[in-house]
Amino acid sequence: MFTGIIEELGRVRSLERRGEGVRMTVEARVVTGGTREGDSVAVNGVCLTALDVRADSFAADGSRETLQRSTLGQLRAGSPVNLERAATPSTRLGGHIVQGHVDAPGRFLSADDHGGSWTARVGFPAGVARYLVFKGSVAVEGISLTIAALHEEHFEVAVIPKTWAVTNLSHLRPGDPVNLEVDIIAKYVERILTHGGARAEPALTVEKLTELGYK
């Protein structure tokens, strides 16, 4: 589990194709601290297993599923990447619950500079629209952000100077793909409402709410 608070902007050192997967080596100096072989690290919001951990780098394997589901397959040597170590029981949950399981690729549309802060616009596919709400949380490239405006095919997020400086948002150009992960709570709520609880109770309906005293 992650919080969506990026710790470091790393850089891809190399990419090696291995069958339908890939082995990448990432330059990093913050997230390698205390990280051991087998620990989880989020790379642009994708949960990967750290391998060959050194003081200034780590390696990670991306499977075919990961490459198909996320934008990692489009990275190149030199690409900047957002990095975050997995949360611990003592971690401050400054963002929201981020699993590192990308739901779909979105697209960076634009960013307006307001003299130190920015408004970024991100396009999203229809399949994730029902999980997005005004003032709700969403992870973009692994960054925990709050939806400031929601439209039919894109949302807007307000970006503070700190986030702009320490993430890859400032490196994105209009049309670039980005990894999107919606709030896991929204998906659990949807599942409960449409399929009932653990005892296979009927789905929640207006009639059921009336019976419970809601008007």
CB 179 within 8 A of CB 102: yes
Top-confidence residue, 137 or 90:
137
The two most distant CA atoms of the chain are separated, in Å, by 61
pLDDT (average), residues 189-212:
70
Residue range 171-194, pLDDT digits in tens: 999 999 999 999 999 999 888 888
Residue range 7-25, pLDDT digits in tens: 999 999 999 999 999 999 9
Q: Which CATH class is domain 8-85?
A: mainly beta
| C-alpha angle 91-166-45 in degrees, rounded to nearest 5 | 60
- Is the model's pLDDT at 212 over the cut of 70? no
Q: What is the pLDDT of residue 196?
A: 66
> What residue spans define the domains of the chain?
8-85, 104-189
CB 122 within 8 A of CB 178: yes
Measure the CA–CA gap between 54 and 49, rounded to whole angstroms: 14
* Reported pTM: 0.88
Q: What is the pLDDT of residue 202?
A: 58
Residue range 102-153, pLDDT digits in tens: 999 999 999 999 998 999 999 999 999 999 999 999 999 999 999 999 999 9
Q: What is the pLDDT of residue 90?
A: 86
Q: What is the pLDDT of residue 89?
A: 86
Q: What is the pLDDT of residue 204?
A: 63
Other beta carbons within 10 Å of 102: 24
Residue range 28-86, pLDDT digits in tens: 999 999 999 999 999 999 999 999 999 999 999 999 999 999 999 999 999 999 999 99
Which CATH code is given to the segment(s) 104-189?
2.40.30.20
Sign of the alpha-carbon dihedral angle for 122, 127, 131, 133: positive
Are 8-85 and 104-189 the same fold in CATH? Answer: yes
